[in-house]
Amino acid sequence: MSKFAKRSKKAGLPPGTLVHIGKKRSEKTRVRLINYDESSFLDTETEAAEEYCAAKAATGITWVNVDGIHQIDLFQRIGECFGLHPLVLEDIMNTDQRPKMEDFGDYVYIVLKMLSLNDRGEIAAEQVSLILGKNFVLSFREQHSDIFDPIVERIKSGKGFIRKTGADYLAYALLDAVVDHYFVVLEKREEEIDALEEEVIANATPSTLQRIHKLRRELIFLRKAIFPFRNVIGALERGESAFFEPTSRIYLRDIYDHTIHIIDTLETFRDLATGLLDIYLSSVSNRMNSVMRVLTVIATIFMPLTFLAGVYGMNFKHMPELEWTWGYPAILLLMATVGISMQVYFRKKKWL
């Protein structure tokens, strides 16, 4: 319901109208402009549109990274500088897009989800949009994070051959950084599954059931965020976009393998989560059966004792044992003998 409620902001508006849909994650939009080639490196933060346009026309590779996608006027200036279609800008500002790839001739537009863990250990997802052109890459994120900082350091230090390659390799590096971070999230969920397995077997409680249901919802969410991305990388690796050179498509194949591995891991986690639910229900059922067995044994032991107490509690006048001096202790001894004998029998049968 929340997805439709957010999209209702665009009801009645013409296509290409820029409306930010989603949670405002950054108070101020940060624009980082990086231009580099094999012998030079420029890194600056600016909101001046003329610098974007000048960087696009400059030699080398231009990377514009935008953190915070709610500032409409800034997006319009960037779109004008790089010749972006209004529908692309509209999709960038709509943060509930599914992962996809669209080729517009002069550039290719890629959408994917970046996953992270918040302070409470919950999975947080944000949309990352990449635009790859002939000599430029545009990246748009909902908020600032340090996930791309190692790539900036590689460019700055000149390590590897990222400074010697084109914009397609930079786009690959950004995609690879996002996908590698999926493994961090999955490792944390694997630790949680292991802890839940021990808890379910040792001492399952109603809070355990809540954690299992929460885990299952998260795994479904992860699958929806990651599964379509496999098709995106597969299309790029097969050469459906001319912006990725054959030398870069080899690296895309590596991302594709990682994506397949992540999806297989998710399917395994989903099976384990389903198994945890079954184990929890079995544990609760077994615990209830144990309680009922003990209560049944206790009730069975007291049945003959209750019978004896009922018979000799009727107080008929002509009951021969009523006048017997040793009648009371004899009945108590008989009750004790019957109770102990039945208890020994039940323990021998392992019913108690």
**Residues β-bridged to residue 65:** 32, 139
Provide φ and ψ at 41, rounded to 5°. -150, 130
Contacts of 252 (CB under 8 A, 6+ apart): 172, 175, 233, 236, 237, 244
At 212-238, the pLDDT tens digits run: 888 888 888 888 888 899 989 988 888
- CA 7 from chain centre, in angstroms, equals 23
Query: Residue 19: its pLDDT value, please?
Result: 66
Per cent of the chain over pLDDT 70 is: 89
* CA 62 – CA 239 distance, rounded (Å): 23
**How confident is residue 4, by pLDDT bands cut at 50, 70 and 90?**
very low
Q: How many CB atoms lie within 10 A of CB 129?
A: 23
Q: Is the pLDDT of residue 89 over 70?
A: yes
Please provide the average confidence, as pLDDT, over all residues in the chain: 83
Query: Residue 249: its pLDDT value, please?
Result: 86
Query: Residue 48: its pLDDT value, please?
Result: 65
At 322-347, the pLDDT tens digits run: 777 777 888 888 888 888 888 888 78
Query: Residue 1: its pLDDT value, please?
Result: 37
SS (H, E, C) the chain: CHHHHHHHHHCCCCCCCCCCECCCCCCCCEEEEEEECCCCEEEEECCCHHHHHHHHHCCCEEEEEEECCCCHHHHHHHHHHHCCCHHHHHHHHECCCCCEEEECCCCEEEEEEEEEECCCCCEEEEEEEEEECCCEEEEEECCCCCCCHHHHHHHHHCCCCHHHCCHHHHHHHHHHHHHHHHHHHHHHHHHHHHHHHHHHHHHCCHHHHHHHHHHHHHHHHHHHHHHHHHHHHHHHHCCCCCCCCHHHHHHHHHHHHHHHHHHHHHHHHHHHHHHHHHHHHHHHHHHHHHHHHHHHHHHHHHHHHHHHHHHCCCCCCCCHHHHCCCHHHHHHHHHHHHHHHHHHHHHHCCCC
Q: Is the pLDDT of residue 253 over 80?
A: yes
Query: Residue 3: its pLDDT value, please?
Result: 44
* CA 180 – CA 131 distance, rounded (Å): 20
Read off the pLDDT of each residue in 103-121 and give the average, rounded to a whole number. 88
Task: Give the range with max mean pLDDT: 25-34, 150-159, 255-264.
Answer: 255-264
Candidate from 4-8, 136-140, 196-200, 201-205 with smallest mean pLDDT: 4-8
pTM of the model: 0.77
Of 130, 76, 128, 65, the closest CA to residue 97 belongs to: 128
Tokens of 320: 């021969």
Query: Residue 329: its pLDDT value, please?
Result: 82
Q: At what angle do helices 86-93 and 72-82 cross, to 10 degrees?
A: 140
Q: Which residue has better confidence, 208 or 320?
A: 208
**How confident is residue 262, by pLDDT bands cut at 50, 70 and 90?**
very high
